[in-house]
């Protein structure tokens, strides 16, 4: 995962980090105090205010090792802290925010020893959004739910309960824009959801009409195939528009060679899974994901615009354990390299990798897990054109995750 970049005077950079941390902590403290005071003031009239405020978080301690033939093994200790506050303002409006370590969009991690002489670590505003529910607690005329979310939010397009298939999005991304959600359950055995979103990637100060952005439409369906067997199918269309040279360059630095022949990129992303329980405490989920870049320009023998992943998860972390294995293959121009997951291919394209993991709940709200990534470059000829390739190495992460 990436660690934040510091440019210019180190003293100024440290001061900026401290200032951002103070501002972020002050923002959360102010929010909680405001909500608390509001709840106290209204307690005599409405004692439900406290029930509408939910504060939660998680802390992850990580030991990470990199093993590469012909080089010294690399070892580092890292942590991630996230604190979130959510509130039901009224039956039509929800509000949420989250603070997190990690100054990079692709990582919430903070490496121990970064900075100089025990510099303070930064806290950043990771989420800040409102969700509008036009129908409140009432069911809308068509469907079972409708909502509009605005601000910096959780990614509505992440694969939902379909295994770890991080091809397009990094799991830490919290995009900024507006999203519409509509849900409907036509019968007890079928749930369908529609997500439509517009996210601004960069702001062009001189010409706001040229802001690089992405528009996405996703339909996902949960189906009960038979008693004890469920399936999920998810299809998404992404339209990246007005991509500027800076965005294209960031992609090339992360493995792209000929992502598009203009400033537009159109992607199709299809995922599917099925789950069943052949043995008690050993549920099985088989999953797969396929991505096609319809705008790839083509290099060498042809376009490098395809990616896919397949895998299986077994067991339950709350019972014996959950274990899983997955295989990923991402051609150079299948997705914008600067957005793909920063773990399984070192945050670049043109690679293939195996992911093996095991997770166990060892204490209440405490999980222990080990994840191993075994990666290699996919196409030597394409690598020669650009030079950005995934590491031919083994990456092992040992984590303890505490939720509160």
350-398 pLDDT tens trace: 999 999 999 999 999 999 999 999 999 888 887 666 656 666 889 999 9
Count Cβ atoms below 10 Å from residue 98 Cβ, excluding itself: 23
- Summarised one tens digit per residue, pLDDT across range 181-236 is 999 998 889 999 999 999 999 988 777 678 999 999 999 999 999 988 999 999 99
Who contacts 268 (Cβ-Cβ below 8 Å, separation ≥6)? 235, 236, 237, 238, 291, 292, 294
pLDDT of residue 22: 52
Res. 5 pLDDT band, cuts 50 70 90? very low
Going from the N-terminus, what domains does the chain have, and what CATH number goes with each?
Answer: 193-404 (2.40.160.10)
Helix (H, G, I), strand (E, B) or coil at 232: strand
- Regarding predicted confidence, which is higher, 310 or 141? 310
Among 124, 149, 121, residue whose Cα is nearest residue 134: 149
Q: How far apart are CA 118 and CA 14, in angstroms?
A: 11
Asked if 46 and 31 touch (Cβ cutoff 8 Å), the reply is: no
pLDDT of residue 379: 86
Q: How far apart are CA 207 and CA 203, in angstroms?
A: 9
- Summarised one tens digit per residue, pLDDT across range 44-100 is 445 566 777 899 999 999 999 999 877 889 999 999 999 999 999 989 999 999 999
User: Worst-scoring range by mean pLDDT, 135-144, 288-297, 365-374?
Assistant: 135-144
DSSP annotation string for 299-340? BTTB---EEEEEEEEEE-TTSS-EEEEEEEEE-TTSS-TTTS
């Amino acid at each position: 995962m990436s660690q934040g970049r510091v440019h210019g005077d180190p003293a100024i950079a440290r001061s900026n980090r401290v200032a951002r941390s103070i501002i972020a902590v002050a923002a959360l403290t102010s929010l909680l105090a405001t909500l608390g005071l509001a709840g106290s003031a209204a307690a005599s009239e409405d004692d439900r205010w406290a029930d509408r405020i939910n504060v939660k978080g998680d802390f992850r301690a990580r030991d990470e090792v990199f093993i590469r033939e012909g080089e010294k093994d690399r070892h580092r200790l890292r942590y991630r802290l996230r604190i979130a506050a959510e509130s039901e303002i009224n039956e039509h409006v929800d509000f949420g925010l989250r603070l997190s370590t990690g100054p990079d969009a692709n990582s919430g991690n903070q490496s121990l020893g970064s900075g100089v002489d025990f510099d303070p670590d930064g806290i950043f505003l990771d989420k800040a959004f409102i969700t509008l529910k036009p129908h409140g607690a009432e069911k809308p005329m068509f469907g079972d739910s409708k909502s509009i979310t605005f601000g910096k939010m959780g990614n509505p397009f992440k694969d939902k309960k379909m295994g770890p298939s991080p091809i397009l999005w990094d799991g830490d991304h919290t995009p900024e824009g507006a999203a519409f959600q509509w849900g409907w359950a036509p019968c007890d055995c079928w749930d369908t959801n529609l997500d439509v979103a517009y996210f601004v990637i960069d702001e062009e100060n001189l010409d706001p009409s040229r802001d690089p952005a992405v528009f996405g439409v996703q339909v996902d369906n949960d189906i009960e195939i038979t008693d004890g067997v469920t399936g999920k199918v998810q299809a998404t269309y992404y339209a990246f528009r007005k991509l500027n040279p800076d965005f294209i360059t960031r992609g090339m630095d992360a493995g792209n060679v000929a992502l598009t022949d203009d400033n537009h990129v159109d992607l199709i992303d299809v995922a599917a899974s099925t789950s069943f329980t052949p043995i008690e405490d050993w549920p099985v989920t088989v999953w797969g994901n396929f991505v096609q870049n319809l705008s790839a320009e083509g290099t060498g023998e042809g376009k490098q615009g395809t990616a896919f992943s397949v895998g299986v998860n077994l067991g339950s972390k709350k019972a014996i354990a959950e274990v899983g294995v997955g295989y990923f293959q991402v051609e150079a121009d299948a997705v914008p390299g600067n957005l793909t997951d920063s773990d399984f291919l070192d945050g670049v394209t043109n690679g293939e990798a195996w992911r093996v993991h095991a997770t166990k709940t060892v204490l209440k709200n405490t999980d222990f897990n080990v994840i191993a990534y075994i990666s290699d470059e996919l196409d030597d000829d394409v690598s020669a054109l650009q030079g950005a390739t995934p590491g031919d190495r083994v990456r092992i992460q040992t984590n303890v995750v505490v939720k509160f």
